[in-house]
Amino acid sequence: MGKGVDENNPVPANGGPSTITLEDVRLSYLAVAGRDEVHVLGGISLDVRPGSFVCLIGTSGCGKSTLLSLIAGYIAPTAGRVLIDGQVVKGPASDRIMVFQHPTLFPWCTAAENVGFGLRLRVHKARSGNAEATIDTLLNLVGLKGFGDRYPFELSGGMRQRVEIARALAVRPRVLLMDEPFGALDALSRLSMQREMLRIWEDTGKTVVFVTHDIEEAVVLGDTVVVLSQRPATVKEVLDVALPRPRLREDPKVVALARHIATLLEASF
Amino acid sequence: MGRGLLRKVVSPAGVLVLWELSSRRGWVDPLFLPAPTSVFLEIWRLAVGGSLFVDITASLRRVVMGFLIAVAVSVVIGGLMARSRIADDLFDPLVELIRPVSPLAMFPLALLWFGIGDASKVFLIALACSFPVILNTYAGVRSIDPALILAARSLGATPWEIFGRVALRASLPQIFTGVRLAWGIALIVIIASEMIGSVSGLGYMVLTAQQTFRVERVFAGIIIIGVLGFISDQALRMLQRRLLPWHRDHRG
């Protein structure tokens, strides 16, 4: 389970993990001027406890990535509010870092330089202390000890995604927003990255919002699985997964939950 | 040594031998086509006498100064034009109006303004070198994956940090293409402008040699200019490999 912040935490957040609150969040836009509005999100309310691992699941195109962009502050809702620890989100900030399906590593930076990128920015410089030590700790945390001097093109897809996660953790975010982060990986890397992700989460105690369209992934990872309906997305059901970790896909309780979610998703077609 | 290398040496060597023979045997007037051996002897004499060194440093000093000024200013201008609509609107008309004008057409003006010394050449080289660097920097910054900008922004980078640490860094391979083009242009412009109005430099040396009918010195100057161009381009390539190790995979 996520333990929150403790002394052994290699990358403590500033003031601990955040609470995320969505209050009747709606989003619509005009795809083509003069045409009808497209309703992407149709009133979503949600409370994410600090330090919890929440999976958002829905069919593709249902607006789950859009919801993540709203929490990240990349876009603003048409109606409703997004709150982080009671503060309305006004734009992107490094207390919430997004990890995308396709890593966005800087190709001219080595793995270590990528991880250190945020630490060398003005906003983080003052409190980043010994950057080299932090980078080492993070590379160890994501299982890339000894790969610090490799360039992204020399790393596999899974390794790049690990660097991406380490780079995000370096700026000590209070929330990790993950948009199908393992969607582009092969099946084996995907399983090992899911295990790694749980370990990293348990070690760091961040609040994680994890978007996926893989039902089993959601059940294996999440404290909570939020099932979204078809567009315009609404919350169909919030499931608390009260199963001990590590969870196996073959576990009958996991299978039963997954089947329940599959039924919910199919019903929304 | 493979057959390939041998074949590659055959034609230049053949030309040299034929050239030497035709000059020595009097097939052509050696006054207009001095033998290669006398050309190399002339290079040796110039080197020992010290005037070669003076002319080379004079030319290189002007080229390097103009080139460095151009690169420093143009990278910033090209980058700003790519990232800011305002900068684009301000600079683009100037760039497009001045770019088609041959730099040599402006040389009389440069002489008038800056005199016969270094400044007129530095000015002209800086001007001529600007355009390839501006255009390549602009294209490079424009083609950056927007996801990289977004990633930097979400990590907390300010717009200026994004400009310096992401936009310009990501465009370095294309900036370098512009820099190498600019260097080639600089070498052309320096020789031509030293021929038109100067009292030192390789261009001046070649032109005065021609006017005093020292044809082997004309040839010597041409060869030195060629060798300098070749060496400096190799040096730029080496610098490129050194500065852009991450770009190796794209270069093939």
CATH of the domain at B126: 1.10.3720.10
Does some domain include residue B180?
A: yes
Does some domain include residue A129?
A: yes
Does some domain include residue A110?
A: yes
Does some domain include residue B6?
A: no
Does some domain include residue B35?
A: yes
Query: Please, are residues B221 and B207 in contact by the beta-carbon 8 Å criterion?
Result: no
pLDDT band for A66, please (50, 70, 90 cuts): confident
Q: Taking CB atoms and an 8 Å limit, are A106 and B166 in contact across chains?
A: yes
Across the range A253-267, mean pLDDT stands at 88
| pLDDT for residue A34 is more than 90 | no
pLDDT band for B251, please (50, 70, 90 cuts): very low
Does some domain include residue B137?
A: yes
Average per-residue pLDDT in chain A?
84
A79-84 and A87-88 strand pairing? antiparallel
Does some domain include residue A255?
A: no
Does some domain include residue A120?
A: yes
The parent domain of residue A152 ranges over: 102-172
Q: How many domains does chain A have?
A: 1
Does some domain include residue A122?
A: yes
Does some domain include residue A117?
A: yes
Does some domain include residue B17?
A: no
Burial call B147-163: b when 16+ CB within 10 Å, e when fewer: ebbbbbbbbbbeeebbb
User: Which residue in chain A has the smallest CA separation from B161?
Assistant: A121
Give the tokens for residue A269.
Answer: 């077609």
Burial call A107-123: b when 16+ CB within 10 Å, e when fewer: bbbbbbbbbbbbbbbeb
DSSP assignment of B153-210, as one string? Answer: HHTT--HHHIIIIIIHHHTHHHHHHHHHHHHHHHHHHHHHHHHHS-SSSHHHHHHHHH
Does some domain include residue A39?
A: no
DSSP assignment of B42-84, as one string? Answer: HHHHHHHHSHHHHHHHHHHHHHHHHHHHHHHHHHHHHHHHHH-
Q: Environment class of residue B211 by beta-carbon count within 10 Å: exposed (0-12), middle (13-18) or buried (19+)?
A: exposed
Gap from B140 CA to chain A (nearest CA, Å): 14
The per-residue pLDDT for A5 is 37
Write out pLDDT tens, residues A190-208.
Answer: 888 888 888 888 888 889 9
Does some domain include residue B65?
A: yes
Q: Taking CB atoms and an 8 Å limit, are A108 and B158 in contact across chains?
A: no
CA angle in degrees (0–180, nearest 5) for A62-A65-A69 = 135
Minimum-distance CB partner of B156 among A102, A104, A123: A123
Which candidate in A108, A109, A151 is best for mutational testing of the B interface (most B CBs within 10 A)?
Answer: A108
Does some domain include residue A79?
A: no
* C-alpha distance across the termini of chain A, in Å: 34
Q: How many domains does chain B have?
A: 1
Write out pLDDT tens, residues A85-142.
Answer: 888 888 888 888 888 888 899 999 999 999 999 988 888 877 767 888 889 988 988 8
Does some domain include residue B48?
A: yes
Across the range A39-51, mean pLDDT stands at 88
Gap from A16 CA to chain B (nearest CA, Å): 18
The per-residue pLDDT for A250 is 86
The per-residue pLDDT for A1 is 39
- Considering only residues B202 and B31, tell me which one the structure prediction assigns the higher pLDDT: B202
Write out pLDDT tens, residues B165-183.
Answer: 999 999 999 999 999 999 9
Residue type for position A24: D
Q: Taking CB atoms and an 8 Å limit, are B156 and A117 in contact across chains?
A: no
The parent domain of residue B72 ranges over: 31-245
